[in-house]
């Protein structure tokens, strides 16, 4: 008898739960509310040239029975701009999200996102996508063998020499110019006064000489390298170290002589 009562009670509560769910669903259908429905959420561009500006309009409809309010439209990066045709869309009417993507500096498969926020109670935030396969025409491509150089201890008064290798991984001649307020630049025994030219697939060693006279303590310097690489027209080489006087160096040697002798 007890089991029969428990079974009846369980069926009763299941029936009550079903009635509540159906009531809420019917209430939701009868309540006036906006709905934003896009014709498409993804736009793909294939084989576009780097530097092109891609434009597309995402069309949406208010399929609800109350005014649709577009609260905000944002993008995943500053290279993409998005504008809405109207902030308020009446039931049954269409609106547009105009998107522009500047492909300058991009290559390969790229995806940019557009976020649309509205008063749609079911989907208040919609995500749109701009996809592009970006082709880069033949060009130079700069690469360094090191981008952060740690010099360690540097004796004050002596020039710090940093040797780096600049490579051209592209298909056209690379022209690169080094800039620093105090440093000198050499290729072999020749002092650079302008840009160096590196052919496709070639590598050139450059010597950077930084003066340390009248300096002590932590050294942190940036060397700017400007080139005709369309994707990396300016890159930085970070050089760090610690400048000590001869007296400080001698003191360090005396202090740690026992460790040096052990080795």
Q: Which of 32, 42, 195 is closest to 126 using CA atoms?
A: 42
Q: How far apart are CA 16 and CA 10, in angstroms?
A: 10
Residue 198 burial class via C-beta count within 10 angstroms: exposed 0-12, middle 13-18, buried 19 and up: buried
Full set of structural domains in the chain with CATH: 36-135 (2.60.40.10), 142-262 (2.60.40.10)
pLDDT of residue 32: 84
Q: Is 216 helix (H, G, I), strand (E, B) or coil?
A: coil
- In the block, tokens 């736009």 appear at 43
pLDDT of residue 134: 92
- In the block, tokens 């084989």 appear at 47
From first to last of its 263 residues, the chain has per-residue pLDDT tens of: 445 555 666 666 667 766 656 655 555 555 789 999 999 999 999 999 988 999 999 999 999 999 999 999 999 887 888 899 999 999 999 999 999 999 988 888 999 999 999 999 999 999 999 999 998 888 999 999 999 999 988 888 888 999 999 999 999 999 999 999 999 999 988 999 899 999 999 999 999 999 988 888 999 999 999 999 988 899 999 999 999 888 877 777 777 776 666 65
Q: How far apart are CA 165 and CA 174, in angstroms?
A: 13
Give pTM, 2 decimals. 0.58
pLDDT of residue 50: 87
pLDDT of residue 119: 96
Q: How far apart are CA 255 and CA 263, in angstroms?
A: 15
pLDDT of residue 246: 83
């Amino acid at each position: 008898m007890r089991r029969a009562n428990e079974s009846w009670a369980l069926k009763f509560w299941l029936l009550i739960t079903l009635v509540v769910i159906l009531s809420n669903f019917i209430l939701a259908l009868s309540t006036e509310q906006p709905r934003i429905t896009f014709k498409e959420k993804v736009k793909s561009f294939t084989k576009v040239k780097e530097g092109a500006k891609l434009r597309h309009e995402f069309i949406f409809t208010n399929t609800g029975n109350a005014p649709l309010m577009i609260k905000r439209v944002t993008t995943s990066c500053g290279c993409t701009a998005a504008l809405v045709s109207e902030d308020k869309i009446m039931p049954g009417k269409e609106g547009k999200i105009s998107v522009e993507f500047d492909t300058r500096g991009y290559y390969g498969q790229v995806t940019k996102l557009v976020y649309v926020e509205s008063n749609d109670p079911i989907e208040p935030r919609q995500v749109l996508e701009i996809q592009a396969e970006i082709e880069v025409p033949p060009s130079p491509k700069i690469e360094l063998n090191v981008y952060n150089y740690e010099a360690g201890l540097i004796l004050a008064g002596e020039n710090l020499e940093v040797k780096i290798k600049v490579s051209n991984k592209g298909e056209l001649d690379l022209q690169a110019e080094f800039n620093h307020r105090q440093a000198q630049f050499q290729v072999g025994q020749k002092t650079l006064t302008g840009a160096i030219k590196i052919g496709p697939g070639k590598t050139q060693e450059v010597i950077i000489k930084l003066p340390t006279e009248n300096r002590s303590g932590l050294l942190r310097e940036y060397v700017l390298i400007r080139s005709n690489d369309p994707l990396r027209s300016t890159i930085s080489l970070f050089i760090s170290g610690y400048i000590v006087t001869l007296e400080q160096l001698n003191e360090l040697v005396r202090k740690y002589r026992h460790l040096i002798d052990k080795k």
